[in-house]
Amino acid sequence: MNCEKKWPALSPQTSVDKSEELLEKLSQLNSKMSRLESIPNQISNMASTLETVSMEVEQLQKQMKGLGEENNSLREKNQLLENKISSLEFDINDLEQYGRRQNLEI
């Protein structure tokens, strides 16, 4: 029994075609590898951007909380001022009626 592998006989043209095909596939692999090599840098850039955005969001949340507290305070002060205005309007009406009674001529 003969254990030697027999390779098909290749013509020179077949060999050139196969070499070109292999070179094309190697070229495609190299371009894919260069894109893969850039992925860690892209991930690092995205992580940096995400960290920056997270810090800005936290800062905006703090500002919103402060604005909410200020808004509540202003709402309370507004209510107090509206009550004072109502009271002053009542006092003015009362004083006008008193003044008209004093100036009444018979």
pLDDT digits (tens, 9 = 90+) for 24-83: 999 899 888 888 888 889 999 999 999 999 999 999 999 999 999 999 999 999 999 999
Contacts for 18 with CB less than 8 Å, ≥ 6 apart = 10
Q: Which residue has the tokens 């254990």?
A: 3
Residue-level pLDDT at 49? 96
d(CA 75, CA 66): 14
Q: Which pair of tokens denotes residue 35?
A: 């894109």
Residue-level pLDDT at 3? 56
pTM, to two decimals: 0.50
Q: Which pair of tokens denotes residue 106?
A: 């018979």
